[in-house]
A and B are shown apart, each in its own frame.
Chain A
Amino acid sequence: MNGLDPILHQPTRLTVLAFLSGCQEAEFSVVRDYCQVSDSVLSKTAAGLETAGYLRVRKGYVGKRPRTWLSATRQGRTLLTAHLAALQQLAAAAEAAGSASGSGAGSDGSESGSGDAG
């Protein structure tokens, strides 16, 4: 599938893993607020990514309050990089096709960089 990762094709999974790849680890509530999803959606997403080996869940305490920390695994970071590279190629190809068709048949209705990833 052109190096695309079907697991990361879903927007929330992609956003969660991309956020976690930008830091060492992040607290559950911070990721939830950034992704603007409910607790249950993030729980499901994190569980899916954890099962696939892309994400690690660590439970701990700050004082007496329980805290859940999420972090991307090395495998998750590597696969995200590969997925983004594949997307970059697709976007570049779509843009090139759009500009080629635009220069060949006028500029009516060409959609640069908007090819479907799936």
Chain B
Amino acid sequence: MVDDQQHEQSEEFTPAQALELARRARAAARRPAPMPWWYGPGVGAALAGYCAAIGQSFERQAQWLIPLCVAALVAVLAAIVRVATRSSGVAARLERTKLPPNVLRALGLTVLLAVLAWFGTWLATGEQGWSMAVAGAVAGLAVWGVIAMANREIKEQSMSSER
């Protein structure tokens, strides 16, 4: 820790030093932080609940519930993301980031698995409610897996940048 007196004395620095100081500070703030452990299960559970609710809306012919389900999902996800991004003490700026190819592949696989689960259950039971609930559960679990994978990559990146 720098005490107040020392702080007041350190007034002299060159443009190059100042630029380097600012560059390092910005890079430190932008460094991606791993999400908390509950982020993956939280998003997965929200997705599973949403799909189950959509399935029930179709089955009970209550299509008016669908926009409400969408609004509820958006609200829950926004709250989860808000709390999770602030849990490290730094709320990142919304920037366009390129997803790594393996995460993109895993997301594609998630959609495929969810569709297959929906189709398989629909063939077996013929009920929309069950089909959507199973598809949601599969998608939720898969999303949890994808988030865990992305989190592991972030942790590895931050560990290698600290070395």
A residues whose Cβ falls under 8 Å from a Cβ of B: 9-12, 14-16, 18-27, 29-30, 34, 36-38, 40-41, 44, 69, 80, 84, 87-88, 90-91, 94, 113-117
Q: Report B24-57 CB contacts with A as 1/0, cut-off 8 Å.
A: 0111111000000000000000000000000000
CB atoms of A37 and B7 under 8 A apart: yes
20 sampled A-B residue pairs with Cβ under 8 A: A15-B21, A16-B25, A18-B29, A22-B26, A22-B28, A22-B29, A23-B91, A23-B92, A23-B93, A24-B91, A25-B90, A27-B90, A36-B2, A41-B3, A44-B4, A87-B18, A88-B15, A94-B15, A113-B15, A116-B12
> Chain A: interface secondary structure?
helix
CB atoms of B2 and A18 under 8 A apart: no
**Given A34-B25, A36-B1, residue A113 in contact with residue B14 (CB < 8 A):** yes
CB atoms of B15 and A91 under 8 A apart: yes
Please measure, in the bound complex, the distance between the C-alpha atom of A25 and the C-alpha atom of B93, giving whole angstroms.
8
A12, A25, A40: the one contacting B91 at CB < 8 Å is A25
CB atoms of B91 and A14 under 8 A apart: no
